[in-house]
Structure 1
Amino acid sequence: MTNWRAAIVGFLVITVLGAVGVVVPGLGQLTAGLVGGFVAGYMAGGSLGSGAWHGLLAGSLGGIVAALVLVVGLTVVGFVGGPVGAAIGSLGGLALGLAVVAFSMIVALESALAGAIGAAVAGE
């Protein structure tokens, strides 16, 4: 059974540390994924599979939200530039959205690994 509280708390940790990671050198998005996945796995406890599942959920939610924000933001900015700007903004938003989805897969996988470690540390 999925512990949504653990997954959402892990997602929030990824989001907050990801925002801080943009400003603070050395604390990047990958670190945010590791810490958030660990927190989700630790809170969920149980088996290694359960921890990995909750870490994967936390990392995936973060990637999906980031992709949606970037796609919508670039599309809105493109509409300000008129029809040509809209076309360029939409294509740029789509390309960037696909890149963010690919990056979020990496973050989700590392969050799953960290979640399994978190569940092992919790050791119920």
Structure 2
Amino acid sequence: MIEQASVKPLEEMGIPKLTAEQIEELCRIADRAAREYILSKVPSHRIADLNVTVETEGVKPITVNVDVEITLSPLMKSYDVEKMAKEAIKEAFLSIETYLRGLAGHRLGTCLCPTNSARSIFDVGKTKS
């Protein structure tokens, strides 16, 4: 499943061209947010495998791909893994939004949360369960 996030072009939001260090930090923040979300829902000893991949392309505009793969213990049959992965991706993009707002130095008034809008510069990668 591929979801997209709608956002104004970086120039309109007041965000400067991102440096390599800022892009690395953006990826670390998104990865951490997705992992923390999953771990807030499932005890770590019940997670058989958790892979979070955050990749970027370009600088301005930047395309961010987030992929979350979760395999739970067979004891966790009642959990909706796909929904949990989607929510983890949303958390990753909320953390990206917060980071970008900090870089811009003011409130942007936009949401990077996944939507079905055609005005997209952020792509969220496939969610696997």
Q: TM-score, normalised by structure 2?
A: 0.40
Q: Tell me which of the two structures has the higher relative contact order, counting C-alpha pairs closer than 8 angstroms and 6 or more residues apart.
A: 2
Q: TM-score, normalised by structure 1?
A: 0.41
Q: Which has the higher strand share?
A: 2
